[in-house]
């Protein structure tokens, strides 16, 4: 895909995805704007994952950012919900569990993460 941007919808709001080559992460969510690494531009699982985060912003009236940053339990639940969407859209369970287990400073066993992802 040669386009540099595309729009997906989080309920009634447009979310602008911008292709980036400089991302440290696969994607970075800024509520209605998501920077996505160009190698993931067609990654449906990642796109749906990011749309979940945008909905979490909306559901919390913007408090998501602070809760996510400063509350480990909230961050785990937020990522768990987002990785369930990733799994639903094609990312395998072990990959979702590995990312969730390794990258979010959570205090859970790998087995607990697997169990939570399938519940
Ligand atoms: Zn996430």
Beta bridge partners of 27: 36
pTM: 0.94
Residue 69 Cα to ligand 1 middle (Å)? 12
pLDDT in tens, 3-58: 899 999 999 999 999 999 876 789 999 999 999 999 999 999 999 999 999 999 99
pLDDT in tens, 58-95: 999 999 999 999 999 999 999 999 999 999 999 999 99
Residue 114 Cα to ligand 1 middle (Å)? 16
Residue 11 Cα to ligand 1 middle (Å)? 18
The answer on pLDDT for 2 being more than 80 is no
CB 86 within 8 A of CB 43: no
* CA-wise closest residue to 14 among 39, 28, 38, 34: 34
Q: How far apart are CA 91 and CA 6, in angstroms?
A: 21
Contacting residues for 2 by C-beta, under 8 A, at least 6 apart: none
H or E element: which one contains 104?
Answer: none
């Amino acid at each position: 895909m040669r386009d540099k941007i595309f729009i997906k919808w989080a309920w009634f709001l447009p979310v602008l995805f911008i292709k980036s080559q400089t991302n440290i992460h696969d994607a970075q969510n800024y509520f209605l704007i998501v920077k996505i690494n160009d190698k993931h531009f067609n990654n449906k699982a990642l796109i749906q994952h990011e749309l979940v985060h945008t909905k979490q912003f909306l559901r919390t009236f913007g408090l998501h950012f602070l809760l996510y940053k400063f509350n480990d339990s909230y961050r785990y639940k937020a990522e768990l919900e987002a990785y369930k969407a990733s799994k639903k859209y094609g990312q395998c369970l072990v990959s979702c569990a590995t990312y969730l287990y390794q990258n979010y400073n959570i205090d859970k066993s790998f087995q607990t993460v697997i169990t939570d992802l399938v519940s």
